[in-house]
């Protein structure tokens, strides 16, 4: 994420520098900045999806472990439902 923020800042500073210059901006430079923006957005979306998948997998694993505790007698069903709902965001 830090690298993506660095590249965003660099692209922003470059575009501001180009806007302040009296010379017209070359179409190629505009195209390259647009491509950078597109790739940054795609990378951010991929990162977001990956993080969500990791969180979902963790929640599922914890739900399974909670169920195992219920089966082995170490946790009541009500407590397991509360853990799933409140801590893991999973409806019981």
Residue ranges per domain, the chain? 2-17+26-87
pLDDT above 90 coverage of the chain, percent: 18
71 has a pLDDT exceeding 80: no
Residues ≥6 apart with Cβ < 8 Å to 62: 83, 87, 88
What pLDDT sits at residue 92? 58
**Residue 39 to residue 33: CA distance in whole angstroms:** 10
Model's pTM, two decimal places?
0.60
With beta carbons less than 8 A apart as the criterion, state whether 7 and 36 touch.
yes
Average pLDDT over residues 81-89: 79
With beta carbons less than 8 A apart as the criterion, state whether 35 and 42 touch.
no
80 has a pLDDT exceeding 70: yes
């Amino acid at each position: 994420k830090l690298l993506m923020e660095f590249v965003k800042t660099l692209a922003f500073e470059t575009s501001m520098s180009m806007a302040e210059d009296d010379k017209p901006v070359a179409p190629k430079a505009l195209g390259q900045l647009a491509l950078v923006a597109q790739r940054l957005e795609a990378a951010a979306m991929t990162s977001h999806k990956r993080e969500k998948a990791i969180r979902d997998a963790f929640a599922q694993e914890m739900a399974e472990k909670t169920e195992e505790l219920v089966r082995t007698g170490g946790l009541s069903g009500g407590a397991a439902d509360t853990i799933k709902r409140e801590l893991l965001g999973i409806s019981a």
